[in-house]
């Protein structure tokens, strides 16, 4: 159903003003000139529209990048550092440390055989507890910090995560004991403490990356629709760079202290210097992260969307009502995000379980620790390629989150099920290259698939007041998957593991297809708008894109959620909602006369924008609207400048 194209008089506007007005309600990156939503188009026209919009956006970004480069050749690097490296710094540091645990274990086994290999002088339960306590610590951090992030604020969660990780790294670096068994116990509990901070990084990084795209007053809304996923995944992929840096540094340190190719025996002195320095290096970076988050991340910016939603709902603490409504209306989504993350972590950590077997097959006569590490470096490089492909394609309307997750799960299933029934065949030297290809491809498609998308959608498909909690619960379910496969790996052979792991890929496909909505191309403001109706008990009165069948799961369609979608009614409701905001804004403007007002003085609706900028740049349009009593609206994205230009923080 197409909306009325001209419900208000625009006779006194010129072409530019009229186009700006239409862009407010029907942005050209999502709607045709006749008002048809992109997801309502027939398949052929939809493909044509999406390809055209991708070309337009690519040309814009390339022109912008070229202009930046001409002004300062290093500016693109600085931009990437500010918008991807810094937001993902915590995940990069935790990726470095957590994957260091599995990397230094062979080093411990080579130097402390009587402890880590034979268990003669160390309790085997404490050796096993190193891995278990790591997972339990992460799980606790994900749940607790997710709750606290929704309760106290996002910035507090960021700071406490960094502090816990810094203290934990000092504990890991200085771990000691009167006996080897005492050292193992100290090492295990230090890792547990550090992992609590790691767990908190997941919900905080995802929610802030998600919310910085809406309502901040600094981000063009088209970037939220077109590049929201890329922003979050670009921060998440720093985890891959953390793994890469850790493996590279361990190789360098072993070369320095061992003076060889890593072939045992390796002295205890070499092991101590290697692993302790490898932990001390990220401790320096984490200390800087504490400083940066404490003094350069503003509370108002980090929790702006959360505070706005609490203000509208008159909530001062934790929004328990939103939690109840989330379980009432979005339980299937929580099943999808938690269940898919569980299935993914079985694959992700299963890949690590098979790593030693894989290396033993391709290098059967090598006893060098360096061989293991070098092949792991190649595997991390394949994973990094998958991370970047995910960030490039996750916002593509013709591919997007849901298809990427389904294809990733299916490819992992195929790449694991083949060697599961033909392991002896691929273990032979004649077919080793095929085994190599399947192993590296499984790493690639795990990142170019569920490992990135589960992190993204667990924050994206839930409302702001409960986003941290929902993400934390989903991530914790993933760590349960990691714990399950760690236990399974301790009591099964490689062949048995290959029989077990692939089926979680099919489970992931089933959960994704049935219960996960596809939010690719959906404006997050529409989700918040729908949530407002749900909270007010008026779900049936919301008719916008958030209940379009394209953005609903199969289960939600079966439950009849899509029946509320009506483009015509939605357009009329938006005009009424914008009128209310316009009148509130004009009232404040009248009180302050010609001065620019602060939006914090009025109710911050989900459609708020930098209206003061709009007033300055489109005053002829405002006069036309006032003369013709045009229905109210908010600021168009194209009319915004950075707030700093107008003297506002």
The pLDDT value recorded for residue 484 is 87
Is-cis flag, bond preceding 265, omega within 30? yes
Mean pLDDT of 398-418: 95
Return the minimum-mean-pLDDT range out of 13-17, 98-102, 439-443: 13-17
Please name each of the domains of the chain with its CATH number: 79-515 (1.20.1250.20)
- CB of 37 within 8 A of CB of 31? yes
Q: Identify whether the C-beta of residue 162 lies closer than 8 Å to the C-beta of residue 293.
A: yes
Question: Considering only 61-65, 187-191, 628-632, which range has the smallest mean pLDDT?
Answer: 628-632
The answer on pLDDT for 345 being more than 80 is yes
Phi, psi of 519 (to 5 degrees): -95, 10
Under DSSP, the state recorded for 428 is S
Give the pLDDT confidence of 60-95 residue by residue, as tens digits. 999 999 999 999 999 999 999 988 899 899 999 999
The CA distances from residue 161 to 142, 167, 355, 482, in Å, are 10, 10, 30, 21
Residue 260 pLDDT: 66
CB-based contacts of 42, cutoff 8 Å, min separation 6: none
Question: Average pLDDT for residues 339-359, to the nearest whole number?
Answer: 82
Tens of pLDDT, residues 143-182: 998 888 888 888 888 899 999 999 999 999 999 999 999 9
**8 pLDDT exceeds 50?**
no
Please state, for a pLDDT cut of 70, what percent of the chain lies above it: 83
Q: How many CB atoms lie within 10 A of CB 71?
A: 8
Q: What is the pLDDT of residues 460-500, one digit of tens each?
A: 999 888 899 999 999 999 999 988 888 887 788 878 888 89
Given a cut of 60, is residue 207 above it in pLDDT?
yes
Taking each helix axis from N to C end, the angle separating 400-421 and 452-460, rounded to the nearest 10 degrees, works out to 140
For 75, counting Cβ atoms within 10 Å of its Cβ (0-12 exposed, 13-18 middle, 19+ buried), the class is: middle
**Phi, psi (deg, nearest 5) at residue 37:** -70, 145
DSSP per-residue letters across 126-150: HHHHHHHHHHHHHHHHHHHHHHHHH
| Nearest C-alpha neighbor of 457 from the set 470, 443, 444 | 470
Q: What are the Cα distances from residue 138, in Å, to 133, 205, 432, 476?
A: 8, 15, 36, 8
> Would you state the pLDDT for residue 475?
93
Asked if the model's pLDDT at residue 55 lies above 80, the reply is: yes
Residue 47 confidence (pLDDT): 96
In this predicted structure, what is the pLDDT of residue 591? 61
The arithmetic mean of pLDDT across residues 113-120, rounded, is: 86
Q: Residue 353 — very low, low, confident or very high, per pLDDT cuts 50/70/90? A: low
Q: Is the pLDDT of residue 583 over 50?
A: yes
Partners of residue 31 on adjacent β-strands? 37
Local confidence band at 391 (pLDDT 50, 70, 90 cut-offs): very high
DSSP sequence for 170-211: HHHHH---SSHHHHHHHHHHHHHHHHHHHHHHHHHHHHHHHH
CA–CA dist 33, 520 (Å, integer): 21
Greater confidence (449 vs 26) lies with: 449
In 541-566, which ranges are continuous DSSP H helix? 554-558
Contacts of 558 (CB under 8 A, 6+ apart): none
Which tokens in the block code for residue 304?
């702006």
* 148 against 13, higher pLDDT: 148
pLDDT at 581: 73
- What is the pLDDT averaged over residues 605-628? 42
Residue 37's beta-bridge partner residues? 31
More confident residue, 132 or 595: 132
Q: Please state whether 636 falls in left (phi above 0), alpha (psi between -120 and 50) or beta.
A: beta
Q: Say what the pLDDT of residue 639 is.
A: 37
With a pLDDT cut of 90, the percent of the chain lying above it is 50
In whole angstroms, what is the distance from residue 332 CA to residue 552 CA? 11
Calculated CA dihedral for residues 9, 11, 13, 14, nearest 10 degrees? 140
* Predicted confidence (pLDDT) per residue in 283-328, tens digit: 999 999 999 999 988 765 657 777 777 777 777 778 888 899 999 9
The reported pLDDT for the residue numbered 9 is: 43
Residue 50's nearest CA partner among 129, 341, 20, 58 is: 58
CA gap 446, 117 in Å, rounded: 31
* Rounded alpha-carbon distances, angstroms, from residue 528 to 179, 222, 309, 533: 57, 16, 9, 9
Decide if 502 contacts 420 (C-beta within 8 A).
yes
Pick from 222-236, 256-270, 447-461: least confident: 256-270
Q: pLDDT at position 497, please? A: 84
Long-range contacts of 599-602 (CB under 8 A, 24+ apart): 599/217
Q: In the block, which residue shows the tokens 């033993």?
A: 360
Answer yes or no: are the C-beta atoms of 307 and 479 closer than 8 Å: no
pLDDT per residue as tens digits for the range 531-573:
999 998 999 999 999 999 999 999 999 999 999 999 989 988 8
- Tell me which residue of 299, 242, 196, 219 sits closest to 103, measured CA to CA: 242
DSSP symbols for 3-45? PPS-SS--TTS-HHHHHHHHHHHS-TTTB-TTS-BGGGS-HHH
The overall average pLDDT reported for the chain is 83
561-570 CB contacts, 8 Å cutoff, 24+ apart: 564/539, 564/540, 566/1, 567/1, 567/2, 567/3, 567/35, 567/36, 567/37, 567/40, 567/543, 568/1, 568/2, 568/3, 568/4, 569/543, 570/3, 570/542, 570/543, 570/544, 570/545
Q: Using alpha carbons, list the distances in angstroms from residue 228 to 25, 210, 239, 391.
A: 19, 7, 19, 10
Region 624-648: mean pLDDT is 39
| Token representation of residue 15 | 């072409």
- CA 329 – CA 555 distance, rounded (Å): 12
Checking if the pLDDT of 615 tops 50, the result is no
The 10s digit of each residue's pLDDT in 502-531 is 999 999 999 999 999 999 999 888 998 999
Which stretches of 542-638 are assigned E, i.e. beta strand? none
- pLDDT, tens digit, 9 for 90 and up, residues 230-249: 999 999 999 999 999 999 99
- Contact between 608 and 215 under an 8 Å Cβ cutoff? The reply is yes
pLDDT at position 22 is 67
CB atoms < 10 A from the CB of 103, how many? 20
Which has the minimum average pLDDT: 83-87, 253-257, 645-649? 645-649
Q: Residue 469 has what pLDDT?
A: 92
Decide which of 252 and 24 is more confident.
252
CA dist 350 and 415 (Å) reads: 12
pLDDT band at 458 (very low <50, low <70, confident <90, very high): very high
């Amino acid at each position: 159903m197409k909306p009325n194209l001209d419900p208000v008089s625009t006779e006194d506007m010129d072409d530019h003003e009229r186009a700006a007005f239409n862009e407010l309600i029907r942005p050209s990156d999502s709607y045709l000139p006749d008002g048809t939503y992109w997801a309502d188009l027939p398949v052929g026209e939809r493909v044509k529209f999406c390809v055209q919009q991708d070309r337009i956006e690519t040309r814009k970004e390339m022109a912008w990048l070229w202009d930046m480069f001409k002004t300062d050749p290093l500016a693109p690097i600085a931009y990437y550092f500010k918008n991807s490296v810094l937001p993902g710094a915590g995940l990069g540091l935790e990726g470095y440390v957590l994957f260091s645990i599995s990397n230094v274990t062979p080093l411990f086994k080579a130097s402390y055989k009587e402890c880590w290999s034979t268990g003669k002088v160390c309790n085997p339960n404490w050796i096993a507890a190193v891995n278990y306590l790591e997972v339990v610590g992460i799980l606790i951090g994900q749940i607790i910090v997710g709750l606290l992030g929704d309760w106290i604020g996002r910035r507090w969660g960021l700071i406490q995560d960094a502090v816990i990780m810094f203290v934990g790294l000092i504990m890991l670096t200085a771990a000691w004991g009167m006996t080897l068994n005492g050292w193992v116990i100290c090492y295990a509990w230090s890792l547990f403490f550090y992992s609590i901070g790691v767990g908190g990084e997941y919900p905080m990084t995802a929610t802030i990356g998600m919310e910085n795209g809406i309502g901040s007053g600094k981000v063009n809304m088209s970037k939220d629709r077109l590049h929201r996923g890329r922003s979050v995944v670009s921060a998440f992929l720093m985890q891959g760079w953390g793994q890469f840096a850790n493996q590279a540094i361990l190789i360098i340190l072993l070369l320095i202290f061992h003076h060889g190719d890593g072939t045992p025996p390796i002295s205890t002195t070499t092991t101590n210097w290697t692993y302790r320095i490898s932990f001390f290096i990220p401790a320096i970076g984490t200390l800087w992260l504490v400083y940066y988050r404490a003094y350069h991340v503003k509370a108002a910016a980090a929790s702006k969307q959360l505070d706005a939603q609490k203000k509208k709902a008159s909530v001062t603490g934790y929004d328990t009502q939103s939690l109840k409504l989330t379980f009432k209306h979005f339980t299937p989504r929580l099943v999808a995000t938690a269940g898919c993350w569980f299935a993914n972590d079985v694959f992700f950590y299963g890949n690590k379980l098979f790593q030693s077997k894989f290396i033993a097959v391709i290098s059967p006569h090598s006893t060098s620790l360096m061989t293991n590490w070098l092949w792991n470096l190649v595997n991390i490089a394949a994973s990094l390629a998958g991370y970047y492909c995910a960030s490039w394609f996750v916002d593509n309307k013709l591919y997007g989150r849901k298809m990427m997750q389904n294809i990733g799960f299916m490819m992992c299933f195929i790449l694991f099920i083949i060697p599961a029934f033909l392991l002896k065949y691929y273990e032979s030297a004649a077919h080793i290259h095929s085994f190599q290809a399947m192993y590296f491809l499984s790493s690639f498609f795990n990142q170019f698939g569920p490992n990135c998308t589960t992190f993204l959608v667990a924050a994206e498909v839930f409302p702001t007041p409960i986003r941290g909690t929902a993400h934390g619960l989903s991530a914790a379910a993933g760590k349960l998957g990691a714990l399950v496969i760690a236990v399974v790996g301790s009591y099964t052979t490689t062949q048995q593991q290959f029989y077990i792991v692939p089926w979680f890929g099919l489970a992931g496909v089933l959960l994704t297809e049935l219960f996960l909505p596809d939010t690719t191309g959906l404006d997050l403001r529409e989700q918040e708008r729908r949530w407002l109706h749900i909270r007010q008990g008026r779900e049936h009165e919301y008719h916008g894109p958030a209940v379009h069948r394209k953005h609903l799961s199969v289960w939600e369609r079966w439950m009849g959620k899509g029946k509320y979608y009506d483009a015509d009614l939605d357009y009329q409701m938006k005009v009424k909602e914008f009128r209310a905001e316009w009148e509130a804004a004009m009232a404040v403007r009248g009180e302050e006369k010609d001065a620019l007002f602060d939006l914090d003085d009025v109710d911050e609706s989900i459609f708020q924008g930098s209206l003061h900028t709009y007033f300055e740049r489109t005053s002829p349009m405002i006069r036309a609207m006032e003369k013709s009593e045009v229905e109210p609206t908010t600021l168009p994205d194209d009319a915004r400048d950075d707030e700093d230009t107008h003297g506002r923080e």
